[in-house]
Structure formats: C-alpha cells, structure tokens
Amino acid sequence: MKNLKKIIHKFNKAKILVLGDVILDEYILGSVERISPEAPVPVVWANKHTFIPGGAANVANNIRSLDAGICLVGVIGRDKNANILLSELKKIKITTEGIFPDPRRHTTVKTRIIAGHQQVVRVDWEHTDSLPQKINQRIIKFVKTNIDDFDAIIIEDYGKGVVNMQLLQDLIALSRSHKKIIAVDPKEEHFQYYRGVTSITPNRKELENAIRNLRIKDTTNRFKFNTDKLFTDKEVELAAGEILKYLDLQSLLVTLGEQGMRLFEKNGRITHIPTVAQEVFDVSGAGDTVIATFTLALSCGASKLEAAHIANFAAGIVVGKLGTAVTTRKELLERIR
C-alpha cells in the first residue's frame, strides 16, 4: 500500500494524451405528471438543462482531476453543439488545440431526458463513418509534433469513427518507436486494430463480443475457444489469454463489475482483484476512470499489478457517486489509507 501512495504522489508530474471520440452529454431533467394527448408518451416538465463533456473528454477530465497534465485529441462538427462542448472543456481547464473540426460531421451528442430518477428517452446525434484521410493526417501530425511532451497515450474508442484502422496503425508505430505507453478502452468490433498496444481494458461483455468477432474474421483458425458467453472464471481466462496472445499485448485488464477486475499479463500471471466499492449508486463512466487511472499509474512507474490496484480503488470511489463522476488524488489516498 505504501508503494501505491508513492505512485499517486507522482501523478502531477505526468502528462497524458487522450485521443478518441469526444461526446457532449446533454441532460434534460424534470418530472412527469400526465400522459400526452398526442401519443401514449409521458409529458416531461423540464426544470434543469445541463451539459457534460463525455467519451474521450470524460477520460481527460478524470486525468485532470488527478492533477496530471492532459491533452485531448478528437473531432467535432461545425455546429452549435461544438461551441457548447468547447466551452464546457474550457470550464474544466482542458485545452482544445487537439480538437479538429470537420464540417461534414455532427458533433456527437447524447441527449438524455430524465424524469425524477428514470431515463425516459435518449436521443443521439452522431456520425460513425471513418474520418477522411485529411483529418487522419492532421491528427497524426499533431501527435507526432507533440509526442515527446507525453508519457502515455490513451485511445478511447466509442465506435464513432475517430478511431479507425489507418489512424491506429500510425499511432501504434509512432508510440512504439518513441517507447510510449499506449492503452486502449476498446470497442469490441475494433479489437483487430489494437495489435501491439501496451494494454486494453475491456469489460466482460466487450470481451465476449470481441472473441466472437475475432473468431469470425480470423481465417487461420487460431481461436480454439468457441464459447460465446463467458459465464465462468475459467472461460474469462481462456478468452483473455487468446486475445492477449493474438494482439501481442503486455497486459489485459478485464473489469467485472461487482466481481472486481482480473489482470492478465504477458508473463502468464493472472491476478483477481476484488472490488473495493463500498456502495454502488451509478456505474456510468467507471470504465473511463479505470483506463485513466491505470494508464496514469503506469506512466508514473507502477507495475501492471500496482496500476490495476490503483484503478480498482478509483473505480470503487466513482461508482459511489451519482452521475458520471471523477475522483481526486486526495480521495484515492484516503480510500487506500
């Protein structure tokens, strides 16, 4: 535990680049007292309207909250939602020089209408096509110019088109040539893109879907594991082991909800880490906290196991808060103590 505290005290010396799908989370909150005469749907009397940076921007916010340096790289449209997102990022002191506008795309927005504590409906504005080559090249140029300023890169893949095969191939080659840590919060359809990164942090469902997708796409029949549902610890171990080897990873950290986490390392070591959550109010954003804290700890000299323990403590804190939340170094140190 003493060593974990030493690592956390180094967080303010690190700087992380987060690249991926930036999202504007919009919340309309109110109450329901009647059903609409126009259709059998509730009428929500709205009384509160808020915006929160989500997706890759939430990962960046987690890192900023832990006192580390942060640079966010992503793509927005040229619309009013882009202006709102940039304004919200400015409020939380996240720089936006790595945010590139593409007039052919919507800024990704998830609008949630909530009555009391119940979500009534969610409306998404997004494009999921891969980025045009011109934007890819601008992003790679930006990262290449600034890579010596960063200790690690996080790829936050929500499947909205920013994380594409060509971009990732260039990023992984660049990171490896500069000996930089590169970690991915994965999208199950894109696992074949991640070969050669340092680590990925899927949840159980993402691992299930990934092993199924990879088995379909791989023509070498290297995947001997045929179970689609990972019900048992042994099935999780077999699936994770195959993906670890297939993608040539240094480690794979599987998040298992109330069962904690399981860390798989290239040397063959498997470690189960029980949850330390005391109460669970809201799990939204917990995966963002895990990838942010795990990568930040690695960049400060932690072993994979030490970084996983710190990420587990951080996740235990944020699920005890309502809404998409972050934690601080002070909270982390107090929880470990």
Specify whether the CB–CB gap between 13 and 149 falls below 8 A: no
| Assigned domain for 192 exists | yes
| Assigned domain for 117 exists | no
**pLDDT single digits (tens) 181-240:** 999 999 989 999 999 999 999 998 999 888 887 765 665 556 665 666 666 788 888 889
**pLDDT single digits (tens) 70-99:** 999 999 999 999 999 999 999 999 999 999
CA torsion, ordered 268, 266, 327, 187, to nearest 10 deg:
-110
DSSP-derived secondary structure letter, 117:
T
Percent with pLDDT over 90 in the chain: 76
Percent with pLDDT over 70 in the chain: 92
| Assigned domain for 305 exists | yes
| Assigned domain for 307 exists | yes
Provide the domain count of the chain.
1
| Assigned domain for 225 exists | yes
Of 243 and 211, the structure prediction assigns the larger pLDDT to 243
What tokens does 100 get?
């590139």
- Estimate to the nearest angstrom the gap between the alpha carbon of 50 and the chain centroid: 22
Specify whether the CB–CB gap between 105 and 75 falls below 8 A: yes
Mean pLDDT of 292-298: 98
Provide the residue range defining the domain that includes 104.
2-23+55-112+128-336
Average pLDDT, the chain: 91
Mean pLDDT of 5-25: 96
Mean pLDDT of 6-29: 96
Residue 195 belongs to domain with CATH number? 3.40.1190.20
The pLDDT of residue 213 is 78
| Assigned domain for 30 exists | no
The residues carrying an active-site annotation are 288
| Assigned domain for 47 exists | no
| Assigned domain for 271 exists | yes
Angle (CA) 135 140 146, round 5°: 130
The pLDDT of residue 235 is 83
Sequence-distant (≥ 6) Cβ neighbours of residue 21 within 8 angstroms:
55, 56, 74, 108, 156, 157, 158, 159, 160, 161, 162, 163
Specify whether the CB–CB gap between 237 and 225 falls below 8 A: no
What tokens does 279 get?
């109460």
**pLDDT single digits (tens) 143-175:** 999 999 999 999 999 999 999 999 999 999 999
The pLDDT of residue 299 is 97
